[in-house]
Amino acid sequence: MSRHGAFFASAVLALWAASSAFADPIRTDAGLVDGVSSAGLEIYKGLPFAAPPTGDLRWRNPMPVAPWKGVRRADKFSPVCMQDGSSVPGQPVEPNSEDCLYLNIWVPPDSVGAKLPVMVWIPGGGFTQESASIPLYWGDTLAKKGVIVVTINYRVGPFGFFAHPELTKESAHGSSGNYGLLDQIAALKWVQRNISKFGGDPARVTIWGQSAGAMSVNLLMASPLAHGLFQRAIGESGGVFIPPSATPFKDSWYLPGNEKIGEKMAADLGADSINALRKVPADKILKAFNPLGTHPIIDGYVLPREPYKIFAAARQNDVPILIGSNADEGKPMIEGRTIKAATYTDDIRQMFGDLPDDFLNVYLHETDAQAHSARANVERDVRFGWDTWTWARMQSKTGNGKVYYYYFAHVPPYPAGSPFAAWGAGHWSELPYTFGHLNQDPWDWRATDRQLSDAMTTYWTNFAKTGNPNDGNLPRWPAFTNADPHAVHFDDGIETGGVANLPGLESLDAYFGKFRDTDAGK
């Protein structure tokens, strides 16, 4: 059993007996598991939700876990999936492995039979990195607010998003390339089958992610394979609504174009078949892949069409959503770059394609200092702001699930000299607040920081419980509609306002609208 201390006295034995109902092994569909107790929670680390995708299972749909005998000790996090570096700046670099399809669970006390809401965290990392176990993502604070938190790994980079004609032919569904999304779906199916044993309610599952994790949430709403696996969705700084033909690497968004990327990688590695490629060491494959083609693709199976078309046709998995983005998302994206007014337009078009002058001129860029700020704001709106705003508008237009929209503008108290000091309310900056983990960094946290974090974790867990973030104890969060587009602005205080940065978003919207017919038949 997972108990701290030695059982050397009757008083300790009595205490253990009184709490043993909470600590007894849990029977999952693959076998018994036992967690560890910490700070009043029961934590289960490294539970397998699919077979290791190694050897002949590399680049295959996730397969069932082999059952085990006895009690499996769930007391250690698994390696993350194959990747380089850390998925979040300032977080530890963890061991990686192809054997990585595991999840972790944080369970409140007295949960047996409680039917608690479940929050399933899908980590970000640009679809080339991920982690279900970095300390920032631990579910302890949220679990103490009455939810079960599940964090999942999924394949990324050339192991999670790799298409090839042989793989497509090998598939019963005539597709390849979306193994990372299939891992996420497999984890959600595991939750549906097993979470009630931990005290969770499979009819109140919230999928939740940031950056590529939020993009994954968006794509799971668009995928017919995820139907019925979740009842609410939270997306922080991510979505997938830009028309593929408006991107510089447009062919990689569709199966035939991504298959060509896969063929080139195989050729570069000297592999003349998928069987040969499955024998290439994982480290060698990791070094050979092209990150521009490493992302989910419209494959006709996991994603039948581009998400915009699925939402426009009201074919999305229709659930309430809580989504938003940050005021300074673009600042970390240009860290260390020299931005010049003289090359501002050419540099942006090289990165994002032929964006029109009327959009670029929304952001003043006559001097180098102005150009630096303008470039950060373009990165914010093109990468994050427009997709999130469009997600809110499309769900409001064609869905029945309500939309709760936010804008995070609060600047954490970064220490002087910190590598984050110039990031403002940048990409990732809301995560210590939404996870309730201000204590993990020894910064000069103020009362306003702690109040904001407590409010945001309460909004998020309220939403997981009911589909509505409000509870009467916090400032009211009105639903977003296209007729009345409210947003809650998180800064030193919490206020209701309109959509931020609207001129740039509207200009982008007009530009992207010209590409819809180009993608309509794909």
Determine the topology of domain 324-522 in CATH: Rossmann fold (3.40.50)
Catalytic residue among 42, 98, 236, 329: 329
Cβ partners under 8 Å of residue 146, min gap 6: 108, 116, 117, 461, 465
317-353 pLDDT per residue, tens: 999 999 999 999 999 999 989 999 999 999 999 999 8
**1-210+255-296 — its CATH code?**
3.40.50.1820
Give the per-residue SS3 of 139-167.
Answer: CHHHHCCCCEEEEECCCCHHHHCCCCHHH
d(CA 70, CA 66): 13
Name the band, by pLDDT with cuts 50, 70 and 90, for residue 20: very low
Asked if 427 is an active-site residue, the reply is: yes
Among 17-21, 291-295, 438-442, name the one with the lowest average pLDDT: 17-21
- Locate tokens 């306003």: which residue? 448
pTM of the model: 0.94
Q: Is the pLDDT of residue 268 over 70?
A: yes
Catalytic residue among 2, 87, 176, 211: 211
**Pairing between β-strand 31-34 and β-strand 26-28 as defined by DSSP bridges:** antiparallel
Q: Which of 63, 29, 24, 21 is nearest to 47 (CA)?
A: 29
- Locate tokens 């997938």: which residue? 240
Catalytic residue among 427, 437, 486, 489: 427
Asked if 325 is an active-site residue, the reply is: no
Exposed/middle/buried for 88, CB within 10 Å: 0-12, 13-18, 19+? buried
pLDDT at position 419, please?
A: 83
Tokens of 288: 């050979």
Asked if 365 is an active-site residue, the reply is: no
Tokens of 392: 């809110």
Name the band, by pLDDT with cuts 50, 70 and 90, for residue 11: very low
| C-alpha torsion 363→364→366→372, nearest 10 | -60
Tell me whether the CATH fold assigned to 1-210+255-296 matches the one assigned to 324-522.
Answer: yes
- Locate tokens 């999928």: which residue? 207
Name the band, by pLDDT with cuts 50, 70 and 90, for residue 488: very high
447-457 pLDDT per residue, tens: 999 999 999 99
Name the band, by pLDDT with cuts 50, 70 and 90, for residue 22: very low
Domain boundaries, the chain: 1-210+255-296, 324-522
